[in-house]
Structure 1
Amino acid sequence: MAGDGNHVTPARPGPLAGRGMMQPDGVETAPPPRYVGAPAKVGKTGQSEAQAEAGVSAHNLIRRVRAYDPGADIATIEAAFEAARRAHAGQLRDNGDPYITHPLAVATILAQMKLDTASIVTGLLHDTIEDTGLTLAELESRFGPTVAGLVDGVTKLTRLELQSDRTKQAENFRKLVLAMSRDIRVLMVKLADRLHNMRTLHYVERLDRRQRIARETMDIYAPLAERIGMDRVKTELQNLSFAELEPEANATIRARLNYLRGQGADIIDEMRAEIARVCNEAGAQVIDVTGREKTPYSIWEKMQRHNVAFEQLSDIMAFRVLVPSRESCYVALGALHGAYPVIAGRFKDYISTPKPNGYQSLHTGVTLRSPRNQKIEVQIRTPEMHDVAENGVASHWLYKQPEAQPKSKEAGAMPVPQLRKLRWVQDLLEILENSAAPDEFLENTKLELYQDQVFCFTPKGQLIQLPRGATPVDFAYAVHSQVGDTCVGAKVNGRLMPLRHELQNGDQVEIMTARGGSPSPAWERFVVTGKARARIRRYIAQAQRETHLDAGRVALTRAFRQDGVDGSEKVLETVLGAFKAASLADLYVAVGAGHVGAKDVVHAAYPELKRSARAPRMVPSFPSRMRPKLPGAGNGLALTGLGAGVAVHFAGCCHPLPGDKIVGIVATGKGVTVHTRECATLASFADTPERFMDIDWDYDAVRERSAEPHVGRISVIGANEPGMLATLTNAVSKHDGSVVNLKITNRQADFMEILIDVEVRDLRHLSTVIAGLRGAAGVTQVERAKA
């Protein structure tokens, strides 16, 4: 399928009808064509359709290609068009147009980007494998392995794209990253396909489908277009998506822009002439000055981000100044700053520090005194910089550079090592490697694609680009994954700062590492880069698996020894199928994680031993609201001596709190149970010392999460009189405690004994609550419960 425009009708005019003019930011679009994104499954083959197909030709496409590449292989393009026309013969758009109009439009968009012959041919053939009888082998024999590979890459993406399920979408995007890491042209063809389908999205009847496609475009394809520097494509995709997702806001902003355009039409030329005069007088040799408006989506996004009204925006109008050289850019900047008041905080130098996609320009904001004290944004760049800003990768296309051509007989094969030098491609590939599941990869990649940049430096002066809100941990992982894994502290501008500190532009960051250091599960809560999050999650998963593996091996060894039977690996291998374990390691992990009982494994190996044994007395559990979260599940317990992700339970017999001396007991199938060292229950484990673990509180983490509650148990003896329970709960709340459970264990005529479970911060807080209870009216005795 063509990917996005299925099940459409020509009757719906749509919100984007009546375009066909120069849009803001120089995005030139044609009026909506009658063809849309996908063919009807069963087409009609009458004489009128055949005549319509015959009327479609590649003449204009070939004329465009010859204009920028006189040496293009026109014969191959014509052969590809004829192959596509014949393959799609009889297939129609839902509005009755021949289907060939869609691949022809995609190829034309690629020609507007001035891409190579292989890309143009791929645009013409990109739907043939999916929708026609042509096979990949036939394409390879007729057009070569490069074109066949490109068509195959786009086809695999489109098949999954038709599914609305999030996991399918994530798997689709995963394949896109792999495909474009081998050949970036896959992405460029896909962007052209998506752009044409978005231009005709208004023909889709179902609102939910239109909005799903628009949201996917806004979340994935527009950021990818920005990453490869294709600003025109990004801008049009955003505005088309915005018109579908926020039609009322879009209409309102367009109406305001139309009004301002009418009001200010007479002063645009005056402003352009004034800017050119000031710059030329300073010797900048201005080539051209163009005025533009911000696009509706960029206006809306800025209003949302800064929570301001339309009237408060100072850069609705912007001007681009083209000068012949890099030096002239700074001459023009100095002239404008000398002639007009500068708007504070608006200057950005992307020439000395380009964006990750290669964008270079000087941005500044000034107030023109005449006419009307107008606040404007000015972008200053060379024609070469402007070409890169508009067309991105296509403007300095690797395939056009003779020195980049591979030493193979097949022209146009992708120089993979050069593509992989792009830092953002490296980051996406590393996220792909570290993410455990497709949907996790999609989440982490969105983090990598979005957000503005901050620029920080290593002590040696290396520039590191990070998203806005990045922390020293993100910085460490940006330098190198091993640096991030072993990070233990950071200095920002020479001062020791917390790892959660938000970095600012120009910060110098020194990362302190330690041999044997490892990522903390708590880092995941504040990192903002997908690369850091994927690496941290991978480490936690590996550490959790290793901990479960060791615990499972110990549990199984003990279980087989208790029954006096052989528990060798040879025996265990015979029961792997019964527990759906692929290997012994998987079985150990399942037992250590508590998914499989050690006794169940023994009974599976020796069925004759199976008997109805009395269930062992387990440690009392908390009510659900009292139960602490497990490490690795989102909070990370403040304990040391445990592997990351190990299952942990607090004993209900002694209710340990920060401040208590504690010890861990390995419980079969349950992970580790934490007891106080004075707990009487520990005597029952005296004959199995291998089950004891030396653990302690991580008091730095405890202080960091001082508001995190723990549960302590208090025993109270008080008068059996009306209002006593209210008195007790009020006394607890006055000292910042919270009653989560209360039980009357003994009630007599004049007194009663009560157990109260209270949420407190630590042992000192519990002592404060106990002191408060002792001073309450009617209370005769209060102490910490021992059991």
Structure 2
Amino acid sequence: MSTITALIDRIKKYNPNCNEEKIKRAYKFAQLAHFGQKRKSGEDYISHPLETALNLTTLHVDEDTIIAALLHDVPEDTTINLSVIKKQFGEEVGFLVKGITKLSKVHYRNNMAERQIESLKKLLIHSAKDIRVILIKLADRLHNMHTIDYIDKPEKVLRIAKETMEIYVPIANLLNVWELKNELEDLCFKTLQPQQYNSIVAKLNENQKNSNFYLQKTIKKINEATKKQHIKIVDLQGRQKNTYSIYKKLQRKNYSFRGISDLIGVRVICETVPDCYKMLGIIHNLFTPKPYKIKDYIALPKANGYQSLHTAVFGLHGLPTEFQIRTLSMHLEAEYGIAAHYFYSYGHDKDLSIAHKSKKQWATKILELKKQFSDPHSKIIEQLKFDIFQDRIFVFTPNGDVIDLPKNATCIDLAYAIHSAIGDHAEKAEINDFEVNINTTLKSGDTVKIITNKENHPSSTWLDYTQTSLAKRKIKEAINQESKEKQILMGKERFQKELYLSKGLNLASISSSTFKKFLNSSPYSSLEDLYIAIGEGKLNPNEVIDQINKSKIHEYNVKFKIIIDNSVGVCIDCLKIFKELDINITKILGTESLLQKSEAEIKIYAKIQDIKQIRQIMESIANVPMVRRIERMTPYRSVLLILGFILIFSLLAIHPFVIKYVITYVTPNHPFFYIILPYTSLVIIYIFTLVNERLFSITLAEKNKMGQIWLASLIMSVLGLIVAIAEIIIFKLQIFTILFLLGIVLLYSRLYFIYSKEKDRIKKL
């Protein structure tokens, strides 16, 4: 067990003038407060706050942060309240301790999950005012993870490890506190995936002796070369890649263990930026660089502010070796992140401005989420994962401003990040001078111009293409201001779109009784209320579709047809989408268009496991360059339509024989039948149009087939009319001319109505 003396010694290494007496007094205060309390490991409870404080010394934190770490569990686990701590150690320490203290267990005794979420909200809001709050919490969680094996409940162990991996590791990553982040990540990996962890550790241990040997020889060779070039090196050190990052790289890129280029890593700390580039040249003269492995994060920093030169080379004996080259200030920023700006003295006014900027960015993100904390329907953990914890990208405005966004953000997210007025009237965008849809996904480094139109307004479908809570909130606010009729229309359109993407169906394919059954088991009293909820973004249409279908899709065959430009690489780009979504392809057919040599057609047969995958495929492939359109092939519905045509054709073919039979054997005794006979052909065709409307609406999903199906329907109706007129002439049937003409007008009006409705639907899709 560590001691207070060890803590003081660590602090004095970076802060010789620290108030030793005050720190010892805080330690004694915590020791007395926790007297008699034990950890699960059997150690005195004071060992935990002491280890938390020791973890913080790696960040060179100030005295108040150390003292707050020593006292952080006192208000929660003892009878001493926060006011006593403020009186003894000052308001600043009191604020830090308050931010870390969880909410009362008594108040939340019936809902501990809610207590955890509310405590997390409190922690983050306090951290927006003072970043030291979150740093203490990270150090606290690190020691808890080190002692997690002493917890006797397996489900609690897994919950803590998962929570750490999903929440605290991403926070450490966002703040660039790499040492804490890597250690937390490896401890979670060890707990959650012990077999994979042990396998990688065993391989690392096997290679350690050789790696150290080649590492020392590489460092020696670099030192000799820099002396000849008269470049002053601040530091030259080997770099160990953490276990979990090795595992992720193996999973992501299907590398062999030897193929990972940064298992052997060297970090070079130079005095100036020009020296960094000179060092890059020296390394490339000594070793052969690997193609496409040079990354200049000095000229173009990462979204989190990280700066360094990266290069991977074929090192000694051809072993893959990675070099990171940076200045001291860049190194401190990279290793200690936001903590470097608060506790390290290394820079100039520029560094101070970066500190304020880093603090502002963190605070802005948290306070933006705070606006939604009061919403009882808010899925706070999901919002945190998207807005703060997710991997980040950065994009440029035409003016050169850098906008930080979560990975997979779209142009809509960017528009609202710039200004809500731009988001509300966004119509389309230009990415790297190419015009794209407003829902296009952005990549790091894109230069994006948002094009607005005063007549354009947010649609509920935009919610499907946004990642940030800011964009979602602004869209919902704009939609809520729309009229009730418009909200119903927006919700209906969004539901129709999701229904087609997931099932290939039209709204007409769902009966009113099916909707009624769903409404009876839902909080919505009418179909209009349901559409309003979907339009406002309060209800996900896929939830309705899943309920209507009673169960989600598990696995079945789905066929896609993709029309592309006949160019090299387009097919491969489409297939990559299936690989990225982890979807199994069972069959691929590709043909060149006979009419247009510049066009080709790909048919892909895939196994779909999730209802959302269909939507993801169609949206992702539609955004691939040189893809003209993608369609979901639904042949069985086309078969039903063809069978319908055959049935009607057969009825019309035998109809004259039926007429002759009725005239000969039935009408002498029942003259009424003689009156209605001339109209029966028209009635058959009209009934066909009503029945066929459902088939027509769910089959007429592809624009290029629309003309063919419509022409067939028109021919069938004309054939029916010819049969009716022929029967009147041949059998000398008496008719009411006006009534007969009215029937013809009614028939063709109905056909035109179906055609117009489906044509409008196709445009929306």
* Interval of TM-score (by shorter of Structure 1 and Structure 2): 0.5 to 0.7
1:462-481 equivalence runs, <5 A: 462-481=401-420
What is the CA deviation profile of residues 608-643 of structure 1, one whole-angstrom value per residue up to 9, with x for unaligned ones? xxxxxxxxxxx9826359999999999999xxxx98
2:360 is aligned to 422
- Tell whether 2:385 aligns with 1:446: yes
What is the CA deviation profile of residues 634-671 of structure 1, one whole-angstrom value per residue up to 9, with x for unaligned ones? 9999xxxx98889999xxxxxxxxxxxxxxxxxxxxxx
Task: Give the C-alpha shift of residue 215 in structure 1.
Answer: 1.1
Counterpart-to-counterpart distance in 2, 1:426 and 1:325:
32
- Tell whether 2:559 aligns with 1:623: no
Contact map agreement 2:72 2:97 (CA 8 A) in 1: yes
Contact map agreement 2:430 2:450 (CA 8 A) in 1: yes
Contact map agreement 2:394 2:404 (CA 8 A) in 1: yes
2:327 is aligned to 382
SS of the aligned residue for 2:317 comes to: coil
Counterpart-to-counterpart distance in 2, 1:513 and 1:392:
37
1:237 is aligned to 184
Which of 274, 281, 286 is matched with 1:334 structurally?
281
Counterpart-to-counterpart distance in 2, 1:284 and 1:633:
70
Which of 429, 445, 464 is matched with 1:490 structurally?
429
Task: Give the C-alpha shift of residue 334 in structure 1.
Answer: 2.0
Task: Give the C-alpha shift of residue 83 in structure 1.
Answer: 1.4
SS of the aligned residue for 2:385 comes to: helix
Counterpart-to-counterpart distance in 1, 2:335 and 2:539:
51
SS of the aligned residue for 1:372 comes to: helix
Task: Give the C-alpha shift of residue 465 in structure 1.
Answer: 3.7
Contact map agreement 1:90 1:98 (CA 8 A) in 2: yes
2:673 is aligned to none
Counterpart-to-counterpart distance in 1, 2:257 and 2:310:
21
| Range with bigger deviation, 302-311 or 153-162 | 153-162
Contact map agreement 1:287 1:323 (CA 8 A) in 2: yes
SS of the aligned residue for 2:379 comes to: helix
Taking a change above 3 Å as real, the CA distance of residues 336 and 123 of structure 1, as seen in their structure-2 partners, is: same
Counterpart-to-counterpart distance in 1, 2:145 and 2:214:
34
| Range with bigger deviation, 204-213 or 467-476 | 467-476
- Tell whether 2:267 aligns with 1:320: yes
Counterpart-to-counterpart distance in 2, 1:388 and 1:376:
23
| Range with bigger deviation, 118-127 or 388-397 | 388-397
Taking a change above 3 Å as real, the CA distance of residues 646 and 127 of structure 1, as seen in their structure-2 partners, is: closer
1:544 is aligned to 480
What is the CA deviation profile of residues 217-247 of structure 1, one whole-angstrom value per residue up to 9, with x for unaligned ones? 1111111112222110000000000011111
What is the CA deviation profile of residues 408-455 of structure 1, one whole-angstrom value per residue up to 9, with x for unaligned ones? xxxxxxx99947753243133223325745753321221234555544
**5+ long unaligned stretches in structure 2:** 489-509, 520-525, 545-621, 652-679, 722-746, 755-765
| Range with bigger deviation, 391-400 or 290-299 | 391-400
1:389-428 equivalence runs, <5 A: 389-397=334-342, 418=356, 422-428=360-366
SS of the aligned residue for 2:446 comes to: coil
Counterpart-to-counterpart distance in 1, 2:432 and 2:205:
48
Query: What amino acid is the match of 1:381?
Result: R
Counterpart-to-counterpart distance in 2, 1:136 and 1:98:
22
Counterpart-to-counterpart distance in 2, 1:158 and 1:190:
17
Counterpart-to-counterpart distance in 2, 1:353 and 1:177:
30
2:52 is aligned to 106
Task: Give the C-alpha shift of residue 169 in structure 1.
Answer: 4.1
Contact map agreement 1:173 1:442 (CA 8 A) in 2: no
Counterpart-to-counterpart distance in 2, 1:631 and 1:707:
29
- Tell whether 2:136 aligns with 1:189: yes
SS of the aligned residue for 1:156 comes to: coil
Query: What amino acid is the match of 1:448?
Result: D
RMSD: 4.8
Counterpart-to-counterpart distance in 2, 1:630 and 1:307:
49
Counterpart-to-counterpart distance in 2, 1:158 and 1:350:
45
Taking a change above 3 Å as real, the CA distance of residues 280 and 483 of structure 1, as seen in their structure-2 partners, is: farther
Counterpart-to-counterpart distance in 1, 2:458 and 2:276:
45
Task: Give the C-alpha shift of residue 515 in structure 1.
Answer: 3.2
What is the CA deviation profile of residues 309-348 of structure 1, one whole-angstrom value per residue up to 9, with x for unaligned ones? 3233222211111222222111101222344322223222
Counterpart-to-counterpart distance in 1, 2:348 and 2:288:
47
Task: Give the C-alpha shift of residue 259 in structure 1.
Answer: 1.1
SS of the aligned residue for 1:310 comes to: coil
Counterpart-to-counterpart distance in 1, 2:363 and 2:415:
18
- Tell whether 2:21 aligns with 1:130: no
What is the CA deviation profile of residues 79-109 of structure 1, one whole-angstrom value per residue up to 9, with x for unaligned ones? 2111111111111123332111111111222
Contact map agreement 1:431 1:535 (CA 8 A) in 2: no
What is the CA deviation profile of residues 2-33 of structure 1, one whole-angstrom value per residue up to 9, with x for unaligned ones? xxxxxxxxxxxxxxxxxxxxxxxxxxxxxxx6
- Tell whether 2:250 aligns with 1:303: yes
Contact map agreement 1:457 1:509 (CA 8 A) in 2: yes
1:222 is aligned to 169
Contact map agreement 2:171 2:389 (CA 8 A) in 1: no
Which of 204, 208, 212 is matched with 2:159 structurally?
212
- Tell whether 2:243 aligns with 1:291: no
1:535 is aligned to 471
Counterpart-to-counterpart distance in 1, 2:337 and 2:90:
27
Task: Give the C-alpha shift of residue 184 in structure 1.
Answer: 1.0
Contact map agreement 1:631 1:647 (CA 8 A) in 2: no
Task: Give the C-alpha shift of residue 499 in structure 1.
Answer: 2.1
2:583 is aligned to none
Task: Give the C-alpha shift of residue 706 in structure 1.
Answer: 6.9
- Tell whether 2:3 aligns with 1:67: no
1:267 is aligned to 214
| Range with bigger deviation, 202-211 or 59-68 | 59-68
Task: Give the C-alpha shift of residue 199 in structure 1.
Answer: 0.8
Query: What amino acid is the match of 1:521?
Result: S
SS of the aligned residue for 2:395 comes to: strand
Taking a change above 3 Å as real, the CA distance of residues 169 and 438 of structure 1, as seen in their structure-2 partners, is: farther
Task: Give the C-alpha shift of residue 249 in structure 1.
Answer: 0.5
Query: What amino acid is the match of 1:359?
Result: Y
Q: TM-score, normalised by structure 1?
A: 0.63
SS of the aligned residue for 1:289 comes to: strand
Counterpart-to-counterpart distance in 1, 2:122 and 2:261:
42
Query: What amino acid is the match of 1:216?
Result: E
Identity of aligned residues (%): 30
Taking a change above 3 Å as real, the CA distance of residues 57 and 645 of structure 1, as seen in their structure-2 partners, is: closer
2:577 is aligned to none
Taking a change above 3 Å as real, the CA distance of residues 550 and 635 of structure 1, as seen in their structure-2 partners, is: closer
Query: What amino acid is the match of 1:315?
Result: D
Q: TM-score, normalised by structure 2?
A: 0.64
Task: Give the C-alpha shift of residue 276 in structure 1.
Answer: 2.6
Contact map agreement 1:343 1:367 (CA 8 A) in 2: yes
Counterpart-to-counterpart distance in 2, 1:456 and 1:632:
39
Counterpart-to-counterpart distance in 2, 1:623 and 1:417:
58
Query: What amino acid is the match of 2:421?
Result: Q
What is the CA deviation profile of residues 35-67 of structure 1, one whole-angstrom value per residue up to 9, with x for unaligned ones? xxxxxxxxxxxxxxxxxxxxx852222222233
| Range with bigger deviation, 470-479 or 118-127 | 470-479
**5+ long unaligned stretches in structure 1:** 1-32, 34-55, 405-414, 553-618, 650-699, 725-746
Counterpart-to-counterpart distance in 2, 1:73 and 1:163:
44
Task: Give the C-alpha shift of residue 183 in structure 1.
Answer: 1.2
1:667 is aligned to none
Counterpart-to-counterpart distance in 2, 1:446 and 1:257:
31
Task: Give the C-alpha shift of residue 522 in structure 1.
Answer: 2.4
Query: What amino acid is the match of 1:255?
Result: A
SS of the aligned residue for 1:461 comes to: coil
1:691 is aligned to none
SS of the aligned residue for 1:174 comes to: helix
Counterpart-to-counterpart distance in 1, 2:226 and 2:163:
43
Query: What amino acid is the match of 2:160?
Result: I
1:10-89 equivalence runs, <5 A: 58-89=4-35
Counterpart-to-counterpart distance in 1, 2:305 and 2:647:
78
